Copies of this chain bind each other. A is one copy, B any other.
Amino acid sequence: MKKYSFKNDYSEGAHPRILEALMQNNFQQEEGYSNDDFCKKAADAIRKEIKNNFSEIFFVSGGTQANLIVMAAALKPFESVIAANSGHISLHEAGAIEATGHKINIIESDDGKIKATEIEEIVLQHQDDPPHMVVPKLVYISQSTELGTIYSKSEVDEISKTCKKYNLYLYVDGARLGVALTSSKNDLSIEYLLARCDAICIGGAKNGALLGEAIVVNNKEISEYFKNHMKQRGALMGKSRIFGIQFLEFFKDGLYYETAKHANKMAEKLKNGIEKAGFGFLTESYTNQIFPIFPKEMIKTLEENFEFYHWKEVDKENLAIRLVTSWATKEEKVDKFLSYLD
Q: Show the binding face of A for B, using Cβ within 8 Å.
A: 2, 4-5, 7-8, 10-14, 16, 19, 22-23, 25-33, 61-69, 72, 76-78, 80, 91-96, 98-99, 101-104, 106, 129-135, 205-206, 210-211, 225, 227-239, 241-242, 328
Contact = CB atoms under 8 A, between A and B. Distances in A.
Contacts of A239: 10, 13, 205, 210-211
Contacts of A228: 76, 78, 94, 130-131, 135
8 contacts: A12-B29, A27-B328, A33-B132, A78-B99, A92-B133, A132-B231, A205-B237, A205-B238
A10 B133 CA distance: 19
Nearest to A27: B12
A13 B242 contact: yes
Given A27-B12, A98-B98, A239-B10, A91 B229 contact: no
A134 B94 contact: yes
Most chain B beta-carbon neighbours within 10 Å: one of A104, A134, A234: A234
A208 B228 CA distance: 26
A298 to B, nearest CB: 23
Contact of A93 (B25, B30, B132, B206): B132
Nearest to A104: B103
Contacts of A101: 95, 98-99, 101
Contacts of A98: 80, 98, 101-103, 134
A23 B32 contact: no
Given A13-B27, A13-B241, A78 B95 contact: yes
A10 B19 CA distance: 19
Contact of A91 (B106, B133, B206, B328): B133
Given A99-B101, A99-B232, A131-B231, A238 B28 contact: no
B64 A62 contact: no
A236 B237 CA distance: 16
A229 B77 contact: yes
